[in-house]
Structure 1
């Protein structure tokens, strides 16, 4: 059976050789085994003599000329896809919380840009197989170049921001490796001129550069400055329960409940906290002379807020104190912490007022991927309960 002669072209820069039959390209091959697979699909016998010049014409090298370095090509494919998918996972994880729940429109736009950049890299990952394969898609190289350029810009910005603050985040171990990968991948694609095959390559490069620079500038502004406007909203509450007399001892048990709730939309970092319980004894002035004492304390630079017209010479004694939630902890949005305590007072204690103070010093945490240091905000809640003799 007469068959058209097969023409095997010279290897290209990657070692791939084009196969033509009857003047029509029917495929390409990296090796002699690949050539036989293509020919077998066309009905050629599996034992075809590749040295028979009447059957196969070799151009630019004989049957032993296959310069493809399979191990190198597969290594590049693996590294390219791993870097694009890893960078995609990082950008989506960083961007989605802001895209969904940022307090400001600019913050949501920034989060969306992060997530969209990750999606671009996810789309570029499968194109790696085509670009380092048979290159059947005209835009595969440009798509990979775009994804790599986005990774270089965003990963570099994240690394720069972390170097400014030097605070640990779960993502910090990915910043430097992904930035180094994007730098390697970008220069490799530039050397291979991956943009070739794209119509108007200069306009494409200019558009990608301008868009990425604008997105990076907006990201830097929103990330570095916008979170400072997000307020810390915190609710503190102190409530006394009903005092009860001990059945065996001359002791009064006074329940008190402390509650803290993050009512805002950003995490809050606890710098310090604690509660204090005081017993207050006062002297009463029927002639209204307490205000004269208030003036004296104010002139002396002391706090005279506990002095009234008919109350003077208050004595405030601490009868209990402890940490509340503990410094170094975080309270996420909507999270609350409650602590119940029982204060024991001797029945003979002559206190006119029992006071309880809950104090927390908080620092805002605007983003999950970077714990920025902000000016601490102080929140104070105070509840007072009067113990009457009948109680």
Structure 2
């Protein structure tokens, strides 16, 4: 059965490797210029070459963002950069500007995906962009799955000899309160242009309209999840399902990739049961997030889409503990992002199957000294026992909470 592509964010080479290890069919990332995430680590040419090689060896693709709003002075080295991307064998570039597209087409044979920043929201715009040679449309997040499917069907009916219109939609992640990210709050509050890679997420702060008014105004959106709409993406042949989050942690990348990989594969095999959906949704609850909602995937987002920060925090049910750096027959070396103590209960998150629950009975430094505690950002070793035989590099760990109450606008379960 046909399956949509699962597309994941890659802030850096580590995130790229984690995304593909945990099930992504493709990743999108930024180079050191021309993208909209200037504060991400971003990829040097050397890291990009390593990332493309890692991806292609595993049957995955790499898309590079060139979607910042460029001025004339930004083009002096742009053509050379496009030629470099072609030489590195990237699979496509993500673009929002017609002038940028023209330069790309003049100097390379790179495939072009239309950025969501172009705010393509209707079939007329979709057909126009296709005439300009765009290979895929990343629709604005204000479009529903049904509307996207209708765009695709109408294009095929009017162009029976043409290749089907590729449509990509966001399935998970943070949402912008502005239309397709066309926001200037960051410019006003910090002098940093969100449309040229400098957004500081000013909308996430609480605001008062005046010093005399004690009313707090929120402009931050709840987070998108489309886990309950996976079947609709299949029905309307949306070719790529995109996870937002190039500023997010490896934990976020791994858990979202694993969750949506499970859902996509299960649906394609007729095995996506309500019970499995609950289990997958619980995994998505484990990562840091605002309250979840379905965005405009079914109906237009209304006032209930606002995340009122006074009512909750950007938290998940579990804490990210660290990542496996290396394994031997005797030991597992872990890079910690939180402190770890003897006696802690942890979960190893594997790309497939259930987490491995493990109680830490002993810890060792990298020189073999037995210790009781390791600080965050340290490297620590544990003994490799038989139940951890499946654990390898790039596998993640999370701390086991004593009790987890999962709440959502759906029937959920209590887990640990």
**What's the TM-score bracket when you normalise by the shorter of the two chains?**
under 0.3
TM-score by length of 2: 0.19
Q: Which has the larger radius of gyration?
A: 1
| Structure having the larger proportion of residues in strand | 1
| Structure having the larger proportion of residues in helix | 1
TM-score by length of 1: 0.20
